[in-house]
Each structure stands twice: as C-alpha cells, then as structure tokens.
C-alpha cells in the first residue's frame, strides 16, 4: 500500500517535472511568470488529438509534429505578445496579467473548437500493470518516468556545456552584463520559449496518453508546475524537478486522508508553507524575490 503511494507519487512527480522544468527555464531568463505555459500544454495535447485521432496520422509523426508545433507556439507567444509588451517597458506584473489573459484565450479557443467535453486518445489499450512487490505500474508510466529523467539529464547537459545553454545562464544571472559581452537577451528569451515549450510538447504527449484531455487541464497542470518551481527554487531547473517529485509524493500521501478533489489545494498549502518559511525554495537563489 505504502509502496503503491510512493510509486504513484513518483509518476505524478515525473508528469509535473515535464511542466515545471520548461516553466522554470522560461522564468529563469525572462524573469516573469509565464502562466500560459499550462495552456500551451493543453493546446498541444489537443493538436496531438487532432492529428492522431481525427486526421489519423501515424502516432510518431503526429508526436513529432506536436512537439514542433508547441515550440513554434511558444516562440510566437513570445514574439507577438510578450516582446511588444517588453518593448513598452511592461513590468513583470503586467506580463503576468498578460499571461493570465493568454491562458484564458487559449482555453476559450480550445472549448470553442473542440468542445468542453473530455477526449481520449485511445492509442494504448488499458494494459495490465506490472506488479512490483505488490504495487502496480503500467508500462506507459515507466516510460513517463524514464522520459522525464532523460530529459532532465539532457537539459542539465545542455545548460552546463553548450554555448546556448551558457548564454542562457548568463542572461538568467545578469541580463545587463550578458548584453555587454555580446549576448542578445531578446534572442535568449526566444530560445528559452522554444526549448521550454518543446519540453512542454513532450509533456503534453505523455500526459495525453496517461490521462484524459480536457480544456481546463492546463490550469491544473500549471498550478503543479508553478508550485514545484517555487518550492524547488524558482528559476532553477534541478530545483523545479526536485519540487515536482515533492509535490507528487505529498499529494499522493495527502489523498490517503482527504478526498481526491483536494489535490490542487494540497499543492497550494505546500506553496504557502514555502512562501512563508523559505520563499527562495530549496535550491533557489534569492534574487528579486522580496522588496
């Protein structure tokens, strides 16, 4: 029983980490809360649904198209919405409200075009779970955990060792100094949106396979992704991943005692505790948090 809770927690954590790491990457360079990130994930799940279930395109090609599409979506959101606002010297609060508006826009478009009902991909038949010491885990769930770990390692390597990754960290650390040494911050902003949204696209595919697709899933995922980033230390990708696993575990332990509808609320209670006692998060730097 306890092992099952633990495994469910790890699966949930892996799903959240796919949301949180992209969000955190975008936050680290852009320094504002891109709340529409969750809606981007919901939207790309619907794109996968459109390509695979309605148009009947091969799953792997659909997936590839979905990831590409999501990256472009992230790029265009930055290019058409955030960049013009930044040019007008919009503060982080204005960008946050803009991202809330964007979240609602994407959600409403999904409802208008696809309807408010729940969709399923029906790619994988409900398969027999594998028993590990009395706990059940499905092959897809193993894949989710596997992918999230691989992505994390890849992202770490990318940030530490590639030129673009280093430039991103430079902008995240100090935008003005980075610009002095010739790094275009606007360029880096675009790249973090492209890469962050690409990760979101991969997340969207796995989430669409594991759960049902519905228009409001973006908000719920964003709550988890955001909370995970804050408790792990906002702007730190390893922190976001760590935070995701903590949220996943605490949630699954929590719903042993509470009705499962309280899942979102549990995440926020953890968020409050962290904001109150350790607002920098576990691995975070304290930059720009308090007045």
**Under the rule (CB under 8 A), what is the footprint of other proteins?**
32-33, 81, 84-85, 88, 90-94, 96-98, 100-102, 104-105, 107-109, 111-112, 115-116, 219, 223, 226-227, 230, 259, 261-262, 264-265, 268-269, 271-272, 275-276, 279, 289-291
Q: What is the DSSP string of 196-264?
A: HHHHHHHHHHHHHHHS-B-TTHHHHHHHHHHHHHHHH-TT-HHHHHHHHHHHHHHHHHHTTTS-GGGHH
Cα separation, 139 vs 142, whole angstroms: 5
Query: By CB neighbour count within 10 A (0-12 exposed, 13-18 middle, 19+ buried), where does 39 fall?
Result: buried
> From the CB of 131, what's the least distance to other proteins, in Å?
32
In this complex, which beta carbon is closest to other proteins, that of residue 69 or of residue 226? 226
> From the CB of 83, what's the least distance to other proteins, in Å?
11
In this complex, which beta carbon is closest to other proteins, that of residue 134 or of residue 259? 259
Tokens read off for 253: 């332990």
DSSP 285: -
Cα separation, 96 vs 34, whole angstroms: 6
In this complex, which beta carbon is closest to other proteins, that of residue 198 or of residue 254? 254
In this complex, which beta carbon is closest to other proteins, that of residue 51 or of residue 270? 270
Give me the residues paired with residue 132 across strands: 135
> From the CB of 32, what's the least distance to other proteins, in Å?
7
Cα separation, 222 vs 111, whole angstroms: 18
* C-beta atoms surrounding 241 within 10 Å: 28
> From the CB of 291, what's the least distance to other proteins, in Å?
5
In this complex, which beta carbon is closest to other proteins, that of residue 89 or of residue 125? 89
Q: Which residue has the tokens 């790619």?
A: 123
Tokens read off for 116: 């408010």
> From the CB of 98, what's the least distance to other proteins, in Å?
5
> From the CB of 285, what's the least distance to other proteins, in Å?
14
In this complex, which beta carbon is closest to other proteins, that of residue 61 or of residue 265? 265
In this complex, which beta carbon is closest to other proteins, that of residue 98 or of residue 167? 98
DSSP 123: -
**SS3 category, 78:** helix
Tokens read off for 232: 């792990």
> From the CB of 49, what's the least distance to other proteins, in Å?
18
Give me the residues paired with residue 135 across strands: 132
> From the CB of 93, what's the least distance to other proteins, in Å?
5
Tokens read off for 38: 């969750």
In this complex, which beta carbon is closest to other proteins, that of residue 31 or of residue 169? 31
Give me the residues paired with residue 136 across strands: 131
């Amino acid at each position: 029983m306890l092992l099952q809770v633990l495994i469910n927690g790890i699966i949930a954590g892996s799903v959240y980490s796919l949301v949180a790491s992209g969000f955190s990457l975008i936050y680290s360079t852009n320094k504002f809360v891109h709340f529409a990130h969750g809606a981007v994930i919901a939207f790309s799940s619907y794109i996968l649904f459109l390509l695979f279930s309605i148009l009947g395109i091969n799953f792997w090609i659909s997936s590839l198209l979905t990831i590409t599409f999501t990256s472009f979506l992230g790029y265009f959101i930055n290019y058409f919405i955030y960049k013009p606002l930044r040019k007008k010297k919009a503060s982080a609060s204005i960008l946050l409200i803009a991202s809330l508006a964007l979240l609602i826009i994407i959600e409403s478009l999904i409802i208008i075009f696809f309807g408010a009902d729940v969709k399923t991909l029906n790619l994988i038949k409900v398969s027999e779970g594998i028993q590990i010491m009395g706990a059940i885990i499905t092959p897809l769930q193993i894949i989710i955990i596997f992918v999230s770990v691989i992505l994390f390692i890849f992202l770490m390597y990318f940030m530490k060792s590639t030129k673009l990754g280093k430039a991103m960290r430079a902008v995240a650390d100090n935008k003005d100094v980075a610009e002095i040494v010739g790094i275009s911050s606007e360029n880096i902003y675009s790249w973090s949106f492209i890469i962050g949204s690409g990760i979101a696209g991969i997340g969207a595919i796995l989430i669409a396979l594991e759960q049902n697709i519905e228009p409001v899933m973006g908000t719920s995922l964003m709550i988890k992704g955001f909370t995970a980033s804050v408790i792990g230390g906002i702007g730190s990708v390893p922190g976001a991943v760590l935070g995701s696993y903590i949220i996943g575990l605490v949630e699954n332990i929590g719903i042993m005692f509470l009705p499962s509808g309280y899942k979102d609320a549990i995440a926020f209670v953890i968020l409050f505790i962290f904001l109150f006692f350790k607002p920098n998060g576990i691995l975070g730097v304290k930059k720009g948090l308090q007045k």
